[in-house]
Amino acid sequence: MSAPTPTEVLVIGSGMAGAAIAKRLSGRGVRVVCLEQGPWTLAGEHPHYSDEFEYELRWRWNRSPSGRHNPADYPVASDRVDVMLYNGVGGSTTHYNAHWPRLKPVDFRKGTEHGLAGSADWPISYEDLAPYYEQNDAELGISGLAGDPAVPPRGARQTPPLPFGPHGRRLAAAFDRLGWHWWPSDNGIITTDYDGRVACNGCGACRNGCPRGSIAMMSRTYWPKALQQGVELRTLARVERITTDERGRADGAVYIDLRTGERHHQRAAIVVVCGNGLGTPRLLLLSADGRHPRGLANGSGLVGRYLMHHAYAEQTIIFPEPIDGFAGAYGSPLFSQEFYETDTARGFVNGFTFQIGRGMTAGHAALGLRWGEGHRAAFGRLFNHEVWFGVQAEDLPVYENRVELDEAQTDSSGLPGVKLRWELHPNDQRIIAYGVARARELADAAGASELVTTGAANPNPGWHLLGTCRIGDDPATSVTDADHQAWEVPNLYICDGSSFVTGGAVNPTSTIGALALRCADRILARADARG
């Protein structure tokens, strides 16, 4: 086993958090090595250019690692959750929708607000993260409109909001008729050229990545700058375990070169794990040793616990006339948080966000049609007559919802995969049922002819992987402190979606980026304090 030259900071994972931390630290003169188990994705490799577009969507661009079977993926077993993640440079930002809302101030104090199930206050506040939200937005380029009275004041966005189109205007008018607040959405999709990247051309295939770089993929935003600043990014480098020295401090990681199968031990003064809400607990559990028999940093037994995804119900509103719901970026043109805050008179705590979507070039409901007799007529009824929108609800952090190693399924290197145990709390089922009822009101107010919904019976997409290594102010109830440093392992930091204490009712990537920049600054501050 070879031993490359030691580095100051080793970052494991190159997604939103890993990219932001690597760029921030290297900009302050810190020597950084980043290990990423997947490859780069070149522009021409996106399915946009393939003659077998549909096949590519089901194979290489399948959002689930269990559907791709790439050598860089690890198996994920779950009978309840359809997991979305991507192993490659940029992580899941390689093929995400880039909706860009922030958590609200109330989301950081759910333990004080209601304390139901595993809810607890974050050890930091919205105000602590606010400057980092702004800095992350400036790095990536966000489209949107300032002035929403329902959220704290924010700076101007880098580019104007996505165009509404006729479907956006139709639904905005419906919100107005009902007296429900709405606002143009923030999206990590630039609508004008920004920072050397070209504006969105409205092709609508955002979920398959963006070969133009108009979406805020880390491979087109943070990483080019981090590399220019001297970060060494090693791809196809699968980390097998984090190592510790005789004092119990992290001193690096053993990784497997997927090209050759050779093992290397990269030593480092500081190790930062950014492997997402599944990959991070998996690696910590794989790193069990005599000092840490239950897994690294897992003395509390909370590594892998409190898994959250967001409870979801998907709707397709069908209109009698053409509505252009397929046209334009898949990013959300508008959203409503009318029902976001807790109102116990509704029969539950927490709430949900209405996300209005678009941009699937063959439509959502139409894609689910069977082939055969009646297909063409049904497709004609749906295509250009439908609009997607979601009821995105906060799911409670339940202790029994967790990530575990799966010895029965292994990756291409023979390492265990993961299995998920996740059930929806009755509180969250009530949120979804209430949201679906409000969705029907919205469809009626918009003059829709039909509403198709997944309903409250199946609200389980694993698009967001949160909470499995939560931050906190007590080592008995959290895995890391407020600065993301593991309680039990000095100089081991954990920062990604796993750090979330509660999930809010919004997409998490914006918050992950803000947490990462703050984590990098706390690493620098602690290093300065030690001299």
What's the total number of domains in the chain? 1
For CA atoms 168, 447, 367, 278, the dihedral sign is positive
Q: Which residue has the higher pLDDT, 495 or 528?
A: 495
pLDDT of residue 528: 67
245, 251 in Cβ contact below 8 A?
Answer: yes
Q: Tell me the two tokens of residue 114.
A: 């209601």
pLDDT exceeds 70 at position 239: yes
Give the model's confidence band at 452: pLDDT under 50 very low, under 70 low, under 90 confident, else very high: confident
Looking at per-residue pLDDT, the higher value among 170 and 364 belongs to 170
Cβ–Cβ < 8 Å for 462, 311: no
Instruction: Write down the pLDDT at residue 178.
Output: 98
Residue 2: inside a domain, yes or no?
no
Tens of pLDDT, residue by residue over 272-283, are 999 999 999 999
Q: Is the pLDDT of residue 246 over 50?
A: yes
197-206, 380-389, 402-411: range with lowest mean pLDDT = 380-389
The answer to which of 108-112, 305-309, 380-384, 477-481 has the lowest mean pLDDT is 380-384
Q: What is the mean pLDDT of residues 44-67?
A: 81
Check whether 309 has a pLDDT greater than 60: yes
- Assess contact for 425 and 398: CB atoms under 8 A: yes
Q: Report pLDDT digits (tens) over 107-118.
A: 999 999 999 999
Task: Give the chain's mean pLDDT.
Answer: 92
User: What one-letter code names the amino acid at 73?
Assistant: D
What's the pLDDT score for residue 458? Answer: 64
Task: Report the distance separating Cα 330 and Cα 210, nearest Å.
Answer: 11
pLDDT of residue 48: 84
The domain that holds 53 is classified in CATH as 3.50.50.60
Q: Is 188 within a domain?
A: yes
For the chain, percent of residues with pLDDT exceeding 70: 96
pLDDT at 19 over 80: yes
Confidence of residue 360 (pLDDT cuts 50, 70, 90): low
Domain of residue 334: give its range: 7-530
Q: Is the pLDDT of residue 2 over 70?
A: yes
Token pair, residue 250, equals 């992290």
Q: Report the pLDDT averaged over residues 378-393.
A: 86
167 occurs within a structural domain: yes
Strand 450-453 relative to strand 416-421, pairing: unpaired
pLDDT score at 456: 67
Residue 244 backbone phi and psi in degrees, to 5: -130, 160
Task: Render pLDDT for 329-349 as a digit per residue (tens, 0 to 9).
Answer: 888 899 999 999 999 999 999
Instruction: Give the mean model confidence (pLDDT) for residues 28-38.
Output: 97
Q: Tell me what pLDDT residue 530 has.
A: 60
pLDDT one-digit tens code per residue, 463-519? 899 999 999 999 999 999 999 999 999 999 999 999 999 999 999 999 999 999 999
Whether 382 shows a pLDDT value over 90: the answer reads no
Asked if the model's pLDDT at residue 327 lies above 90, the reply is no
Lowest mean pLDDT, pick from 14-28, 309-323, 447-461, 513-527: 447-461
Q: Whole-angstrom Cα distance, residue 291 to residue 438?
A: 52
Q: Are 25 and 520 in contact (CB under 8 A)?
A: yes
Question: 487: Cβ–Cβ under 8 A, 6 or more apart, which residues?
Answer: 297, 299, 300, 475, 478, 479, 480, 481
Contact 283, 12 (CB under 8 A): yes
The reported pLDDT for the residue numbered 51 is 82
Query: Who's near 90: CB < 8 A, 6+ residues apart?
Result: 14, 15, 19, 41, 217, 218, 219, 220, 223
For residue 42, report the phi and psi dihedrals to the nearest 5 degrees: -80, 160
What average pLDDT does the segment 370-377 reach?
83
**Is the per-residue pLDDT at 363 higher than 50?**
no
Structure tokens at 281: 């607990």
pLDDT of 407 strictly over 90 = yes
The verdict on residue 1 lying in a domain is no
Q: Which residues contact 290 (CB under 8 A, 6 or more apart)?
A: none
Query: Given this model, what pLDDT does residue 276 score?
Result: 97
- Percent pLDDT > 90 in the chain is 74
pLDDT at 362 over 70: no
